[in-house]
Amino acid sequence: MPRTILIVDDDPHIRQLLVFAFGKAGLDTVEAGDGEAALAAVRTQQPDLVVLDINMPRMDGLEVCRRLRAQGDVPIFFLSSRDDEIDRVLGIELGADDYVVKPFSPREVVARSMAILRRTAGKPPAVEKAVTLRHGELMLDPDAWTATWRDTSVSLTVTEFTILRTLVSMPARIFSRDMIIDRLHGPGFAITDRTIDSHVRNLRRKFAEAGCADIVETRAGVGYRLGNCTGAAP
């Protein structure tokens, strides 16, 4: 079935450009001109992805993201009209999966959105259920996209889950930020190292709240490695 994209921007011209671009890619679209309309559309339309402008009147995209994250895990892709890294990093820390800065290429927005949707869908098992990944007290179910530490379920965004699954797949290996970006988006994809750092901070915060303070290790100047996942502070 076609996937549905909710496009949220107070500029009707931008919405029109994205509706056309997503339509060419075979995706259905729903539009919202402000934050309140976006929240209503998520409730009624249940989109597979929200493309969300940060700088909107009445209720900006950051507040919409906060409210959506309080309700569920629908993937969020930010459109940033501000050339200010703080806004974009804050968006990632609130739970967004990716972002682009205006002016942008509609084709790039579609390509990045398709990458998020592929990660959301996962790879269907050929014959049997995918192997559950375990390390210490951590358990990942790649089919259900669920993460559990001891008996506590930890709610992760698609990007956070993919990063954690990458680390769990080779727990002894140190992954550079570029290697993690390649796992998320494919080689040559341009996002900043600070974006990866923000996602890792989110992972640490969420697992610390569940009682696990050693989910990810930082190797200074190199990258990240899976922690012991025993709950002890590193």
Query: H-type helices in the chain, by residue range?
Result: 12-24, 35-45, 61-71, 85-94, 106-121, 158-169, 177-185, 193-209
pLDDT for 188: 47
pLDDT for 127: 37
Q: Which domains does the chain have, with CATH numbers?
A: 4-121 (3.40.50.2300), 133-226 (1.10.10.10)
- Per-residue pLDDT averaged across 126-137, rounded? 69
Tens digit of pLDDT for each residue in 78-124?
988 765 666 667 777 788 888 888 888 899 899 889 988 887 775 44
What backbone torsions phi and psi does residue 167 show, to the nearest 5 degrees?
Answer: -65, -40
**Cα separations (Å) of 159 from 14, 29, 120, 127, 179?**
25, 22, 9, 26, 14
Query: How, if at all, do strands 98-101 and 223-226 pair?
Result: unpaired
Query: How, if at all, do strands 223-226 and 216-219 pair?
Result: antiparallel
Residue 50: strand pairing partners: 6, 76
Q: What is the rounded distance in angstroms from the CA atom of residue 21 to the CA atom of residue 17? A: 6
**Cα separations (Å) of 215 from 1, 130, 195, 196, 226?**
36, 22, 18, 15, 6
Helix (H, G, I), strand (E, B) or coil at 233: coil
Q: What is the mean pLDDT of the chain?
A: 85
pTM (predicted TM-score):
0.60
